[in-house]
Structure 1
Amino acid sequence: MTGFLALPPRAPAVVVLAHAGTGAARDPRYRRVAAALRHAGLGTLLLDLLTEDEGRSPHCVFDVTLLARRLRAATDWLRRETGLPVGYWATDTGAGAALEAAAADDGVRGVVSAGGRPELARPAALARVRAPTLFVVGALDTRLVGPTRLAADWMGCAPRVDVVPDAGHLFAEPGALEHLAERSRAWFTARPAAPAAPSAVPGGAPRLAAGQEDWQRGDGERDVRAEGAHGIG
């Protein structure tokens, strides 16, 4: 896996923007939402859950069990490195994986599925999710509106479903991406922060890869490569 970690000073939590492929850093949805979260003071990890070769295989892209396992490994890595609470944001099949991962981890602070495939998570897993969950789906994305509501009905955590008028699957219509970013920002900033887990790093500061020091001094527009992210999972 490859990830790009951005950690503002005194961030209260980190949101993993999990991509079921290799394009998180290039996808306009991921970039726009990550920027909104960072401006709100949250850390972000843009994470590709698959390698380049795996991303070309439909079997891997739809292997929710594999994706969830790697997302849990990334979560463990983040907690060790930062000691911060972790939330999930995902699209497409990555959303099903995020819900599977959250079902096995009551410490996840929140989940946002944006044009995702939550119905790919097992019904038993959906019923176990305790993290506050928001589904955002475009009204023009008629293929997903029904399955999203069905997945929400399986869940016991009273998820919220936000159907965005005049928006399609990619939220490319005027104003749709801004709406998605704002709803995602509001969802994660409204979640109460949990006490930080003990950090694996002396003094509680995350270890930084070369070049990350500029981010710590306030370079808020640049994603940085997460040290060791290729080896998590």
Structure 2
Amino acid sequence: MDATWPRRLPVAARGDASSAGGRGGLGGGLARRAARPGRRGAGSLRTPTLLLVGGADSHVLELNREARRRIGANVMLEVIPRATHLFEEPGALGQVADHAADWFERHLGREHGRVQQAG
């Protein structure tokens, strides 16, 4: 499996494709950035954005909802029911992978959206 293909894409080379995670994740960071006066914030983001969050993680879910409101266009928020922020619950990580693969297929093309299983 070749995990370096995103770096070879023209869109990734320009910095238009990225991912982040962790406590508060990308949504939390975007919401905080948008709240800073005089700074270019989340509202100026034009890159298609996918926010994935566990439904049982109420604080991070609210941060991501606020980020979605501030970003406006071209953002999708997918909530994984009953999942916490690490997606450790049975089946949760599979749902995350499915949502991400679908999103990448829509935005980067089918040939890059799904990793082929070896063997």
CA contact (8 A) 1:134 1:161 kept: yes
Q: Is the 8 A contact 1:93 1:117 kept in 2?
A: no
What is the deviation of 1:187?
0.7
3-state SS in 2 of match to 1:172: coil
What is the CA distance between 1:128 and its match in structure 2? 0.8
Aligned residue number for residue 132 of structure 1: 48
Structure 1 counterpart of 2:19, from 89, 101, 126: 89
Give the counterpart of 1:190 among 106, 113, 116. Answer: 106
Secondary structure of 2:18's aligned partner: strand
Structure 1 unaligned residues grouped into runs of 5+:
15-77, 97-112, 194-219, 222-233
Distance 1:148 1:181 in 2: 18
Structure in which a larger fraction of residues adopt strand: 1
Conservation of the 8 A alpha-carbon contact between 1:134 and 1:162: yes
In structure 2, what is the Cα distance between the partners aligned to 1:152 and 1:83?
26
Cα 1:141–1:93, aligned 2, differ >3 Å: closer, same or farther? closer
Displacement, 1:121?
Answer: 2.5
Amino acid in the other structure paired with 1:149: R
CA contact (8 A) 2:51 2:78 kept: yes
Aligned residues: 102
The match for 1:159 is 75
1:119 positional shift: 2.1
Query: Which AA in structure 2 matches 1:141?
Result: D
TM-score, with structure 2 as normaliser? 0.70
Amino acid at match of 2:63: P
Percent identity (aligned) = 27
Q: Report what 2:33 is aligned to.
A: 121
Q: Is the 8 A contact 2:31 2:70 kept in 1?
A: no
Q: Any idea what SS the aligned residue of 2:88 has?
A: coil
Kindly report the root-mean-square deviation, in angstroms, between the aligned alpha carbons of the 2 structures: 2.7
Where does the alignment leave 5 or more consecutive residues of structure 2 unmatched?
110-116
Kept in 2: contact 1:95–1:117 (CA 8 A): yes
After superposition, the C-alpha distances for 1:82-123 in whole angstroms (9 at most, x for unaligned) are: 463212121026944xxxxxxxxxxxxxxxx6xx64323334
- The 2-side partners of 1:6 and 1:160 are apart by 24
Q: Does 1:6 align with 2:3?
A: yes
Q: Distance in 2 between matches of 1:121 and 1:84?
A: 26
CA contact (8 A) 2:53 2:80 kept: yes
* SS of corresponding position for 1:146: helix
Secondary structure of the corresponding residue to residue 88 of structure 1 = coil
**Higher helix proportion:** 2
Distance 2:85 2:25 in 1: 14
Instruction: Give the TM-score taking structure 1 as reference length.
Output: 0.38
